[in-house]
């Protein structure tokens, strides 16, 4: 740098750029993307309702009376579920599988039409057990034949199930689906386990070639906080991720261990770690990735549809943990989650686990934070002398720069010292940000008296307000070397802006930021007191 103005200006620009990018990231999500997604979801549901009203199921009774999975009558004209975009007509279902963790409905074409999660914590905004799929989406285990004529026929001929109800809640069960076509007999043999996963063997006679899909992703929570789309793991252990909206042409992948289409918390997974898979990806009308496995005339694999719970995936196969995608900072986020899970194993409460993890992160990063805080204090103390040099040599930039550098050297100050530690901590922040956003383990996890779900927003806005208040206090006690009044005003409004956005953030993430602010205040207060003592000693 040539002079103090350049040094100071660069520091300010980097700091402002970092904060502005972060604010823009959050603002764009809440003010642009989220309303678009909500409008789109509302439109899809409206279209579904119109279709149901315009073309009622010809096999349904005139009074619209159906039964639930247990055979109990439901008045569909009064049921809110019947108006949902996730409602599946009972006439479409040939078999219902119940495991300890979910209910899997198989439709007339041998596909997974719906999966309902049974664990108590998996409930939607209507307090109903979460259903993973929309009624009109690409369904898991749909088969498409290479022969066009045969494929057309396959979408008209229903499959026959060996059992209409399968109880796999306590023991492994089998189910066979048979679809008899003019040129082949397609057979799907399921082995269903109590934990909700399955093994599947698919066979087509007469050597008819087919493809089979894991379907479009679950559509429960797909937002711009977390990655959602397609991920695959290859034989060389590399991961290939394609986010929704990013696939503009067909693509082939060979040597695949698993594929998954996923939203923030849930996924449809197909895997085979003994014999690799070959995949063709096709974009839908919105450039979302649709995966089709090359089945030949006979293929075997295993599958899972449900929450991306770390322990459940690890129990199926440790490599399936890679289904959980944390984005750019996965290499930091994965070990961070393992630490989070380790602490929770001893503490037993996810809220206090987040508190402890935050403290540990602050302790690890303390040397960086300390260095930055000390640099800011030194620059604050040198501000009067820097102004003198600027005024004295305002017409000679070369001398101004030389005297500034001498001043820095004499007092051990670094004009970039306050900014660089912040920049270096950004990857850690975004890693914990991704961990807390993607961790379905926080779903239904309580903390304190008023937080009943750390994966949801604070219902009384206590944590966001505390976060904003601590951010304001932190700002007040932190040395500010900015001379520009506009920059000062921007920073003064940041606590208000952040509080506003954090009102809707998951409570777990807001808790992290609040605790982080508390310890930053403590660190800053300590540094301030040290410098105050030094000033007092000099005087």
Choice between 19 and 529, residue whose per-residue pLDDT is larger: 529
- Select, from the ranges 81-85, 329-333, 421-425, 513-517, the one with the highest average predicted confidence (pLDDT): 513-517
HSE at residue 534, side-chain half, CA atoms within 13 A, is 10
Please check the confidence at residue 61 and state whether its pLDDT lies above 50.
no
- Position 270 pLDDT exceeds 90: yes
Q: Cα(539)–Cα(524) distance, rounded to whole angstroms? A: 23
Report how far residue 363's alpha carbon sits from residue 430's, in angstroms, rounded to the nearest whole number. 17
Residue 515, CA atoms < 13 Å, CB-side half-sphere: 19
Question: What's the whole-number mean pLDDT along residues 369-380?
Answer: 73
- Which pLDDT value is given to residue 476? 84
CB 323 within 8 A of CB 418: no
More confident call, 488 vs 523? 523
Q: Which residue has the higher pLDDT, 85 or 145?
A: 145
| HSE-up of residue 45 (Cα within 13 Å, Cβ side) | 14
Quick one: what percent of the chain has pLDDT higher than 70? Answer: 78
**CA neighbours within 13 Å on the CB side: how many for 253?**
26
pLDDT band of 38, cuts 50, 70, 90: low
Mean pLDDT of 402-419: 69
**pLDDT tens digits along 387-398:** 777 777 777 777
Higher pLDDT, 385 or 173: 173
The answer to whether residue 3 scores a pLDDT higher than 50 is no
pLDDT at 266: 95
* d(C-alpha 144, C-alpha 151), whole Å: 6
Q: How far apart are CA 256 and CA 241, in angstroms?
A: 13
Which has more pLDDT, 532 or 358? 358
Give yes or no for residue 162 having a pLDDT over 80: yes
pLDDT at residue 82, rounded to an integer: 53
Angle ∠(311,316,282) on CA atoms, nearest 5:
105
Cα separation, 316 vs 271, in Å, equals: 10
Both structure tokens of 40: 């789109």
Are 158 and 179 in contact, with CB atoms under 8 Å apart? yes
pLDDT at position 109:
96
Tokens of 245: 């909206």
Lowest mean pLDDT: which of 24-38, 102-116, 213-227, 482-496?
24-38
Mean pLDDT of all residues in 143-168: 96
Higher per-residue confidence, 238 vs 377 = 238
Q: How far is CA 289 from CA 280, 380, 489, in A?
A: 10, 53, 45
pLDDT of residue 2: 44
DSSP 506: B
Rounded to whole angstroms, how far apart are CA atoms 96 and 105? 5
Pairing of strands 143-145, 160-161: unpaired
Taking the C-alpha atoms of residue 340 and residue 350, their distance in angstroms, rounded to an integer, is: 8
Q: Looking at the predicted structure, is the pLDDT value of residue 56 above 80?
A: no
Helix and strand element counts for the chain (H, E): 12, 19
Beta-strand ranges (E) seen in 247-297 are 251-262, 266-271, 277-283, 289-296
**Over 50: is that where the pLDDT of 104 sits?**
yes
What is the model's pTM?
0.77
Report the pLDDT value the prediction gives residue 11, as an integer from 0 to 100. Answer: 46
Task: Report the chain's mean pLDDT, rounded to a whole number.
Answer: 82
The reported pLDDT for the residue numbered 22 is 55
Domains and CATH numbers, the chain: 91-323 (2.70.98), 334-538 (no CATH)
117-121, 222-226, 437-441, 510-514: range with lowest mean pLDDT: 222-226
Q: What is the mean pLDDT of residues 286-300?
A: 96
Look at 83-97, 128-142, 160-174, 379-393 and tell me which has the smallest mean pLDDT.
379-393
Q: How would you list the strands of the sheet with 102-107, edge to edge?
A: 112-117, 102-107, 93-99, 165-168
- SS3 assignment, position 526: helix
Give whole-number Cα distances, 283 to 230, 233, 246, in Å: 11, 19, 9
Confidence of residue 129 (pLDDT cuts 50, 70, 90): very high
Only one residue has tokens 């007191």, namely 529
B/e letters for 225-244, b = 16+ CB within 10 Å, e = fewer, are bbbbbbbbbeeeeeeebbbb
Query: How big, in percent rounded to 5, are the helix, strand and coil portions of the chain?
Result: 45, 25, 30
- 216-262 pLDDT tens trace: 999 887 666 678 899 999 999 999 999 999 999 999 999 999 999 99
Which secondary structure element, helix H or strand E, spans residue 417, and what is its range?
none
Check residue 53 and give its pLDDT: 43
- Check residue 39 and give its pLDDT: 52
- The span from the CA of 345 to the CA of 349, in Å, is 8
Q: Stretch 163-181: mean pLDDT, rounded?
A: 97
């Amino acid at each position: 740098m040539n002079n103090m103005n350049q040094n100071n200006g660069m520091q300010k620009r980097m700091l402002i750029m970092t904060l502005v990018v972060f604010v823009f990231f959050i603002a764009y999500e809440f003010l642009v993307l989220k309303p678009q997604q909500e409008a789109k979801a509302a439109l899809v549901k409206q279209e579904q309702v119109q279709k149901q009203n315009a073309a009622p199921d010809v096999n349904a009774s005139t009074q619209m009376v159906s039964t639930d999975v247990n055979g109990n009558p439901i008045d569909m004209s009064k049921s809110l579920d019947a108006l949902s975009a996730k409602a599946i007509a009972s006439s479409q279902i040939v078999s219902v599988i119940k495991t300890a963790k979910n209910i899997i409905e198989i439709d007339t074409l041998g596909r997974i039409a719906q999966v309902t999660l049974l664990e108590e914590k998996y409930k939607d905004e209507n307090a109903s057990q979460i259903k993973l799929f929309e009624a009109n989406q690409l369904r898991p285990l749909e088969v498409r034949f290479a022969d066009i004529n045969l494929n057309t026929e396959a979408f008209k001929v229903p499959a026959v199930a060996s059992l209409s109800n399968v109880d796999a809640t306590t023991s492994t069960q089998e189910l066979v689906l048979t679809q008899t076509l003019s040129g082949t007999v397609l057979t799907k043999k399921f082995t269903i386990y109590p934990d909700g996963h399955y093994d599947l063997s698919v066979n087509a006679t007469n050597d008819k070639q087919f493809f089979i899909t894991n379907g479009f992703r679950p559509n429960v929570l797909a937002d711009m906080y977390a990655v959602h789309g397609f991920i695959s793991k290859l034989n060389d252990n590399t991961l290939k991720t394609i986010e929704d909206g990013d696939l503009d042409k067909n693509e082939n992948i060979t040597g695949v261990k698993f594929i998954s289409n996923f939203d923030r918390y849930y996924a449809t997974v197909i895997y085979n770690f003994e014999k690799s898979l070959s995949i063709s990806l096709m974009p839908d009308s919105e450039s979302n990735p649709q995966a089709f496995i090359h089945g030949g005339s006979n293929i075997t694999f295993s599958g899972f549809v449900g929450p991306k719970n770390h322990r459940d995936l690890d129990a199926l196969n440790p490599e399936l943990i890679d289904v959980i995608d944390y984005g750019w900072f996965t290499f930091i986020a994965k070990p961070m989650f393992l630490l989070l899970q380790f602490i929770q194993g001893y503490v037993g409460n996810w809220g206090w686990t987040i508190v402890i993890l935050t403290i540990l992160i602050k302790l690890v990063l303390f040397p960086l934070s300390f260095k930055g805080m000390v640099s800011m204090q030194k620059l604050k103390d040198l501000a009067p002398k820097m102004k003198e040099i600027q005024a004295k040599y305002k017409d000679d930039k070369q001398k101004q720069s030389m005297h500034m550098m001498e001043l820095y050297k004499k007092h051990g100050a670094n004009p970039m010292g306050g900014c660089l530690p912040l920049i270096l901590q950004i990857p850690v922040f975004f890693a914990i940000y991704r961990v807390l956003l993607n961790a379905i383990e926080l779903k239904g996890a309580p903390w304190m008296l008023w937080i009943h779900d750390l994966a949801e927003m604070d219902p009384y806005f206590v944590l966001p307000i505390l976060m904003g208040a601590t951010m304001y206090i932190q700002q007040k006690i932190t040395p500010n070397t900015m001379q520009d009044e506009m920059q000062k005003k921007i920073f003064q409004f940041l606590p208000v802006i952040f509080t506003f956005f954090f009102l809707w953030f998951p409570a777990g993430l807001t808790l992290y930021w609040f605790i982080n602010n508390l310890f930053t205040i403590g660190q800053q207060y300590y540094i301030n007191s040290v410098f105050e003592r030094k000033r007092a000693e000099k005087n």
